Amino acid sequence: MIHSLSLSDVLADHARSRPGVTATVDGELRHTYAELDLRVTRLAAALAGAGVSTGDRVVWLGQNAHAVLELLLACSRLGAVFCPANWRQSPDELRFVLDDLTPAVVVFEPSEATTSLRAAGAGTWLQAGDEYERAVAEAPVREFGPVDDAEPVLALYTAAFAGRPSAALLSSAALVAHATSLLVVRRMEPGFTFLNDGPLFHVGTMMFCLATFQIGGTNVFTPAFDPEEVCRLIDAERVTQAFLFGPMIDAVAKANAGGKYDLSSLRFVSHSAEWDDMITVDDSPWCRSKMGGYGQTEVGGMLTFLGLAEGGAGFAGRPSPLVQVRLLAPDGTEVPAGEVGEICARGKTLFSGYFARPDLNAEKTAYGWHHTGDLGRREPDGTLTFIGPKLRMIKSGAENVYPAEVERALKTHPAVADAAVIGVPDPGWQQAVKAVVALRPDAAGGVTGGVTADDLIEHVRTLLASYKKPRHVTFVDSIPKRGFTPDYDALDAAHGGGGYPGNA
């Protein structure tokens, strides 16, 4: 175990190396690293007392709180797996999570949903707040042996595959490695204070919580995003960074329009003149380059960083120093630069598969590489461009055509408001490429007006290999969506799609 470094080990070292540094702030509760270490030891003992042992799951049903980090660390100390569930989900969705994970312990914030779930749920249920604090205070201090850092410790639910979400399992080794890559790109140092105002069930907030923990900084927790409270906490706790983007930044700037709060401790990305005046514009690669890159839960957060490829052609940047990236064809061979392939990865930050999904895990690790399910392209300078989700592939003759790539090309036409691409059965070629296109109102007229199907086919032909251009174009008022992506099942049904190779 000499090379192992679990999250529990990191905490044990912080308790010695920075005993008096504030580790967590949550409302009135403030704990130093020495206190956090002791609380986590007691919490681990309480969980063990409730029957949690190696590999067992512990679920949090609630908003952000210091207890989320404590439960993760206590699970690390025990060798158990912690899952902060998405509290925005419906009771049915949460029930799916509980049925899937069969947790030994559920820690919950009271709500209509948790009341009904508790009534039907197995395992030990512990109420957040006073009951949780009492359990921590009353548990004994005992010794826990070292835990292998390659074992999973965190489960985060991700996008639906085959109609159901799956829990990505992240090991301590992956989380520590990913946190360290953020320390590099974000120039995080001791003294860094992170405001956890985004949801901790999502890797976007969790990854910064853990990087802050890794460098021995301070994590401030607030239940959910509230612009005024964000201002107050940045001021009161001298916050270095928060989970903020686009509209959230505007909301915070608006809440502080009169300059009521001092936000100068916040080192963040430049956004608007008003915002830049309130904060300290950050010169780290992370913020200098507009916080770009490509990531997903399964790679621990970010796989590539724009900040490692300033001036590069690809807007997804370059890989983190701790991973390898390859763009692979469906047969596992590498596609040449300039061609679209599936973004695949190996390295220190990668997840350990999905909980209880052996078939999916085998599929995602084909040819010894993690398959992200997303498409990308390597530019001549080596930087990466994210194309879009792979979803389903069209087979036209011997060639593979990815809808996302053709859609991107279509959308560069000034008359196109939105587009989706499907495959339709073709007697000669197995499938033919069909574009379903919504034109901009001012370009209206469709096939009878200014912009014709031939215009769009010609436009794509100038951008992509000829076999990728649509053979058919249909004009519609709008593209049906499932979340942010086209609803391909509905499009196939409405426009004659079918004949796909593989599993679609």
> What is the rounded CA–CA span in Å between residue 488 and residue 466?
23
| Sole binder of a copy of itself in the list 41, 181, 219, 297 (CB under 8 A) | 181
Q: With 0-12 CB in 10 A as exposed, 13-18 as middle and 19+ as buried, what is 338? A: exposed
> What is the rounded CA–CA span in Å between residue 299 and residue 388?
17
Determine, following the binding rule CB under 8 A, whether residue 192 of this chain makes contact with a copy of itself: no
| Sole binder of a copy of itself in the list 323, 409, 439, 473 (CB under 8 A) | 323
The nearest distance, CB 296 to a copy of itself, in angstroms, is 15
Determine, following the binding rule CB under 8 A, whether residue 146 of this chain makes contact with a copy of itself: yes
- Contact (Cβ atoms closer than 8 angstroms) between residue 265 and residue 239: yes
> What is the rounded CA–CA span in Å between residue 136 and residue 43?
5
The nearest distance, CB 150 to a copy of itself, in angstroms, is 7
| Sole binder of a copy of itself in the list 42, 178, 271, 318 (CB under 8 A) | 318
Among the listed ranges 38-46, 234-242, 344-352, 474-482, the one in contact with a copy of itself (CB under 8 A) is 344-352
CA angle (340 as vertex; 336, 355 as ends), nearest 5: 110
The amino acid present at 108, given as its one-letter code, is F
**Short-list 15, 136, 9, 18, CA closest to 76:** 9
The nearest distance, CB 312 to a copy of itself, in angstroms, is 9
Site string for a copy of itself, 193-232 (x = CB under 8 A): ---------------------xxx----------------
Instruction: Between 216 and 423, name the residue whose CB sits nearer to a copy of itself.
Output: 216
> What is the rounded CA–CA span in Å between residue 248 and residue 484?
19
Determine, following the binding rule CB under 8 A, whether residue 313 of this chain makes contact with a copy of itself: no
The nearest distance, CB 215 to a copy of itself, in angstroms, is 6
Buried b (16+ CB within 10 A) or exposed e, 19-41: eebbbbbbeeeebbbbbbbebbb
The nearest distance, CB 311 to a copy of itself, in angstroms, is 10
Determine, following the binding rule CB under 8 A, whether residue 324 of this chain makes contact with a copy of itself: yes
Q: What is the DSSP secondary-structure string of 288-300?
A: HTTT-EEEEGGGT
CA angle (51 as vertex; 173, 175 as ends), nearest 5: 15
Among the listed ranges 85-93, 135-143, 178-186, 257-265, the one in contact with a copy of itself (CB under 8 A) is 178-186
Binding residue count for a copy of itself, defined by CB under 8 A: 57
Footprint of a copy of itself (CB under 8 A): 1-5, 9-10, 12-13, 16-20, 146, 150, 173-174, 176, 179-181, 183-184, 187-190, 214-216, 285, 308-310, 318-319, 321-326, 337, 346-348, 350, 365, 368-370, 378, 381-384
